[in-house]
Amino acid sequence: MSEARTNATPTAPTAPLTTPSVTTLPDTASWHDGVVAAVTEGARFAGLYADRDRLIAVLDGDHGFELIETTIERDADGTASYPSLSNEVPPAFWYERAAYDLSGLIPTGHPRPDPLLLPLHPGSDRPAPGAPVTDLGALIVSADTDAPGPVDLRGHGLLTLMFGPVRSGVSESIEFLIETPGEDIPHLNIRPHFKHRGIAKRFEALAPQDAVLVAERVEGIASVAHALAFSHAVESAAGTRVPPRARLLRVVYAELERIANHLECAMRLSDAAGLSVAIARFAWHKELVMRTMSTLTGSRFGRGAVIPGGVRAPRVDPVVAFDADWSRLRNRILDDRRRVMRTSSFLDRLRGTGVLDADYARRWALVGPIGRASAHAVDARWQHPYDGYRSLPLPAEPALDTDGDARARLRVRWQEVDTSFDLIERAVVALDQIEDSRWSGDRPVTVPDGPALGVAEGPQGEVLYSVRFEGGVIARCLARSPALHDLVAFHDAFHTDVFTDFAFIEASFGLSYAGVAM
Amino acid sequence: MAWAPHGLANGTVTTKWPRRPDAYFDDFPASVEVVVPEDAAPAADAAVLAAANACPTRAIAVEAGEVSLDRGRCILCGRCTRLAPETFRFEPGSATASLGREGLIVGAHEENDEALQRLRADLKARVRHLGRSVHIRHVDAGSDGSDEWELQALSSPVYDIHRLGIFFTASPRHADILMVTGIGTDGMAGPLRRTLDGMPEPIVVMAVGTDAVSGGLVGGGYTDGIGIAPRLASGGRGVDVWVPGSPASPFSVLHGILLALGRVDESGLRTRRGGRA
Ligand code: SF4
């Protein structure tokens, strides 16, 4: 079994997360240089967004999370621009396009300043998250849906294949344009805007207890992780102490969600390989995990279970929910995992497929199983431990691999499933021994004005909320999903792979497109 | 390693519903009920008003002292059941689909039986010609991703809709049922319209999940997503079956499909047509 946590978390703060440190720089040039310098010195780039005319970069450095911000002065004609980060800080690539779409801030020198989340009809207003809207109904901005995607490569023998937005079977809507001269895939263009729901704006003016319900729907397959990350932001701002039982039950929910998601990934990889029995078995296991979640919470996705300040009381005693059947389920999953990892027809398709090397993962600051399979050890449970992860024994380090291919991503997930089962088991035992019977704090949570930040490690990776409160409600909320952060690497996972690897690479990424389109 | 003999040799995992009852179908808290006291309309006391005000999707209406709840807006957050437990409570049971949008409104609400009869007769005429196998085309029009998980689960050995002759198909041309999830974003208006245009008659359209029914909690913002009905109406189609839920659970979706096909009724009991299925 896993080794107990040693001193693997030397920088673990005493409180899970404190208010982020905020550095305000006088102009966009010094902002650009400041962010580049911090990243060069080793800070991890975790996101970029606009709050009205303020441009904010989120970094994770030696002293925890830091916001580096500046205010953009508009030109006489109203345009707002700043020197793009993307050439020096690659992962800014999509964020800068998103900030342009939503807030109209132009990244000068961006290698490809095309719309990403919201291609507007000419003349449409921009939603401008952070700016108060008096009449929400009047703000209907329109996306130009029928325009064909930009085609980058033109030349003899080039074939453009369009996948989506409506694809075969049951899938989320997204479009991939694949431009290929025959078997190789030299270029891929990802267009997630079809299902852009305007998430950022939806958070605004909501009190924390309402906003957490929106957070659960940003990436519906990681509802618990989003509710946790958002609640952490609220709790750190409000100085709320979460009761011990709630901290443990949060771990149970988060790890159930992780197991279900990782089984989904195994299922989709089996599907790509045509292993019908494996698909059926993993689907069966996943269903039982989701039923356990619904036994405890009333929701198969654990919705409504995590609230700022704690959790709702479970519907049944967790000791009852995790009975002998649960142990049998664990063993069956273990059996099937061994079997699939010994099926050579399966492994042959995964090995060397969709490789992202360690240097790439570090430069693009990839999170989640995608990053960890390429030796980039980002996992909030270790680096910013919260809730029950602070007291339960964790392995010395997060699951890691160095191969960076689809097989490595699956191996990392299997290792995490092991840890998830261990954590659930220990959390349930520990729950039984706690005298404090409270599931949430006794005082209503009230938030002071100002910035707050919260993270949680979801199945797909770090979920991050950067929030500005004003008058007890949300004035601006960045819901940064791991999907938006990592999907950009999909462009670069195809170097030499044949076209038929597409399904394997997509399944091995295992990302939610709702979380990309926002 | 051989997979074939391994199979699912751990007993029967597949539900027998609708031929036999299924405990998970019956127990899952898929909706909120308005408790109507005997001989009286549900009381609109202070607790009920507080619940109506606290509902994040404005699903509860209090008019002239009478209470109703629109399951097509409800996201099952449970807030009303905590604030006014005498009036609102979670209802076990997955038979939540309805043939009319009105049918999702419960409590002090006049059910228009005539209208429902008409819907039923119209649908019956359209599905009469369907063969024993029925093909479904799914389109995501702005979901949060959870709805798709629940639809995929229908093909798992636990629900195994193939046993009922129901299949998801890749091509709109071979589809009998169009199933739409998500709030109906502006960006999906075009792709949704093109999918509809590619479908033959007769078709059944299903709005699956509270997002698709009304826009749910996330809809209604600047992408104009207030459910899929307005998107379809512009193409001259209506929604035939409404399945609430945030997301709708696999059993609720299955109830909706079989309701559309006339094989079960609103309460999930088999009809005569269902008898041979
Ligand atoms: S359970 Fe439904 S009706 Fe009740 S408050 Fe929540 S969303 Fe509203």
Express as a percent the part of chain B with pLDDT over 70.
90
Q: Rounded to whole angstroms, what are the CA distances from A465 to A44, A52, A127?
A: 16, 17, 19
Please tell me the least confidently modeled range out of B66-80, B88-102, B127-141.
Answer: B127-141
Region B244-257 average pLDDT: 97
* Contact across the interface for A214 and B217, Cβ inside 8 Å: yes
Q: Does residue B147 share a domain with residue B68?
A: no
Residue B190 has pLDDT above 70, yes or no: yes
Span A329-357, pLDDT tens digits: 999 999 999 999 999 999 999 999 999 99
B34 in the same domain as B168: no
Distance B87 CA to ligand 1 centre (A): 12
- The answer to whether residue B101 is domain-embedded is no
Q: Which of B64, B94, B124 delimits the end of a domain?
A: B94
Q: Are residues B209 and B242 in the same domain?
A: yes
When pLDDT is averaged across residues B100-114 and rounded to a whole number, the result is 82
| In a domain? residue B100 | no
B10 domain-assigned = no
Instruction: Locate the chain A residue with the closest alpha carbon to B24.
Output: A291
Residues B138, B40 share a domain: no
Does any domain span residue B9? no
Q: What is the domain extent for residue B172?
A: 113-260
**What pLDDT sits at residue A4?**
41
ipTM > 0.90 for the complex: yes
Are B1 and A165 within 8 A, CB to CB?
Answer: no
Question: Which residues of chain B from 19 to 58 reach within 8 Å of chain A, CB to CB?
Answer: 24, 28-29, 56
| Model confidence at B269: pLDDT above 70 | yes
At B200, the pLDDT band (50, 70, 90 cuts) reads confident
Burial-class residue A117 by CB neighbours within 10 Å (0-12, 13-18, 19+).
buried
Instruction: Report residue B276's pLDDT band, with 50, 70 and 90 as the boundaries.
Output: very low
Contact A298 B4 (CB under 8 A): no
Domain membership of residue B8 (yes or no) is no
Chain A residues in contact with B158 by the CB 8 A cut-off are 283-284, 287
Per-residue pLDDT, A5? 41
Question: Domain total for chain B?
Answer: 2
Nearest residue of chain B to residue A120 (CA atoms): B187
Q: Which of these ranges, A432-446, A499-513, B108-122, B146-160, has the smallest mean pLDDT?
A: B108-122
Element at A64 (helix H, strand E): strand A64-71
Q: What pLDDT is stored for residue A498 in this prediction?
A: 57
User: Do A516 and A192 touch, CB atoms closer than 8 A?
Assistant: yes
What is the torsion angle, in degrees rounded to the nearest 10, for the CA atoms of residue B262, residue B268, residue B270 and residue B274? 40
CATH number, position B211 = 3.40.50.12280
Pairing of strands B31-34, A54-61: unpaired
* Cα–ligand 1 centroid distance for B80 (angstroms): 5
Minimal CA separation from A339 to chain B, in Å: 6
Say how many Å lie between the CA of residue A305 and the centre of ligand 1: 14
Minimal CA separation from B101 to chain A, in Å:
23
SS (H, E, C) chain B: CCCCCCCCCCCCCCCCCCCCCCHHHHHCECEEEECCCCCCCCCCCHHHHHHHHHCCCCCEEEECCEEEEECCCCCCCCHHHHHCCCCEEEECECCCCECCHHHHEEECCCCCHHHHHHHHHHHHHHHCCCCCCEEEEEEECCCCCHHHHHHHHCCCCCCCHHHHCEEECCCHHHCCEEEEECCCCHHHHHHHHHHHHCCCCCCEEEEECHHHHHCCCCCCCCCCCCCCHHHHHCCCCCCCEEECCCCCCHHHHHHHHHHHCCCECCCCCECHHHHCC
Distance CA B146, CA A302 (A): 11
CB of B259 within 6 A of ligand 1: the answer is: no
* Cα–Cα nearest to A120, from B197, B97, B222: B222
Say yes or no for a CB contact (<8 Å) between B191 and A280: no
Per-residue pLDDT at B130:
82
Q: Is B84 exposed, middle or buried (0-12, 13-18, 19+ CB in 10 A)?
A: buried
Looking at the structure, tell me whether residues B121 and B70 fall in a common domain.
no
Q: Please report whether residue B37 resides in a domain.
A: yes
Sign, CA torsion A239/A240/A245/A247? negative
Between the CA of B77 and the centroid of ligand 1 the distance, in Å, is 5
Domain edge (last residue) among B94, B121, B138: B94
Whole-model pTM? 0.93
Does B202 reach chain A within 8 Å, measured CB to CB? no
- Closest ligand 1 atom to B217 CA: 7
Q: Judge: B141–A195 Cβ closer than 8 Å, yes or no.
A: yes
- Name the β-bridge partners of A476: A468
Closest Cβ opposite residue B221 in set A171, A198, A213: A198
Q: B144 — contact with chain A (CB < 8 Å)?
A: yes
Q: Read off φ and ψ for residue B32, nearest 5 degrees.
A: -110, 135
pLDDT at residue B220 above 70?
Answer: yes
B67 touches ligand 1 (CB under 6 Å): no
Do B122 and B207 fall within a single domain? yes
What residue in A sits closest to B152 (Cα-Cα)?
Answer: A170
Atom of ligand 1 nearest to the CA of B58: 8
Give the C-alpha separation, B19 to B269, whole Å: 9
B157 neighbourhood in chain A, CB within 8 Å: 280, 283-284
Q: Please classify residue B121 by burial: count the beta carbons closer than 10 Å to its beta carbon, then call 0-12 exposed, 13-18 middle and 19+ buried.
A: exposed
Q: Same domain, yes or no, for B176 and B49?
A: no
Q: What share of chain A is helix, strand, coil (3-state, %, to 5)?
A: 40, 15, 40
B44 lines ligand 1 (CB under 6 A): no
Task: Choose one of B94, B122, B139: the last residue of a domain.
Answer: B94
Q: Specify the CATH number for the domain of residue B38.
A: 3.30.70.20
Q: Is B14 in CB contact (< 8 Å) with chain A?
A: no
Q: Is B212 on the interface with A (CB under 8 A)?
A: no
Range in A124-128, B211-215, B242-246 with the lowest mean pLDDT = A124-128
Residue B223 tokens read as: 């992408």
Beta bridge partners of B41: none
B132, B251: one domain: yes
**Residues B132 and B245 reside in one and the same domain:** yes
Q: Does the Cβ of B32 fall within 6 Å of ligand 1?
A: yes
- What pLDDT shows up at residue B273? 67
Output the residue whose Cα is nearest ligand 1's atom 5: B55
In a domain, B2, yes or no: no
pLDDT tens digits, residue range B80-95? 999 999 999 999 999 9
Whether residues B82 and B200 fall in one domain: no
B92: nearest CA in chain A? A298
Q: What are phi and psi for residue B181, nearest 5 degrees?
A: -115, 160
Q: For B166, list phi and psi in degrees, rounded to 5.
A: -110, 135
Q: How much is the mean pLDDT over chain A?
A: 88
Provide the 10 A C-beta neighbour count for residue A358.
15
Q: Is A197–B219 a contact, with Cβ atoms under 8 angstroms apart?
A: yes
For every residue of A196-228, which 3-state class applies, written as one string?
CCCHHHHHCCCCHHHHHHHHCCCCHHHHHHHHH
| Beta strand spans in A316-460 (E) | 450-458
- Residue B135's φ and ψ, nearest 5 degrees, are -115, 135
B108 Cβ inside 6 Å of ligand 1: no
Specify whether the CB–CB gap between A484 and A518 falls below 8 A: yes
B76 lines ligand 1 (CB under 6 A): yes
For residue A445, report the distance from its CA to the centre of ligand 1, in Å: 21
B17 at interface of A, judged by CB pairs closer than 8 A:
no
**Residue found under tokens 């005539």:** B114
B136 lies in some domain: yes
Ligand 1, atom 4: closest residue by C-alpha: B80
Q: Which residues of chain A have pLDDT under 70?
A: 1-18, 122-123, 133-160, 180-186, 496-498
pLDDT by residue (tens digit) across A174-200? 888 877 665 555 678 888 888 999 899
What backbone torsions phi and psi does residue A82 show, to the nearest 5 degrees?
A: -155, 155
> Which residues in chain B touch residue A165, judged by CB atoms under 8 angstroms apart?
188, 191
Q: How far apart are CA B27 and CA A201, in angstroms?
A: 37
Min Cα separation B186/chain A (Å) = 6
**Residue B117 and residue B254 in one domain:** yes
- 8 Å CB contact of A339 and B225: no
Are B135 and B35 part of one and the same domain? no
Average pLDDT over residues B235-255: 94
Residue nearest to atom 2 of ligand 1 (CA): B74
| Nearest Cβ partner for A342 among B1, B151, B190 | B1
Q: How far apart are CA A354 and CA A351, in angstroms?
A: 9
B149 to chain A: nearest residue by CA? A221
Which residue minimizes the CA distance to atom 7 of ligand 1?
Answer: B74
CB pair distance less than 8 Å for A166 and B28: no
Separation of alpha carbons A232 and A140, rounded Å: 32
The C-alpha R_g of chain B, in whole angstroms, comes to 19
CB contact under 8 A, A332 and B24: no
- For the Cβ of B260 lying below 6 angstroms from any atom of ligand 1, the answer is no
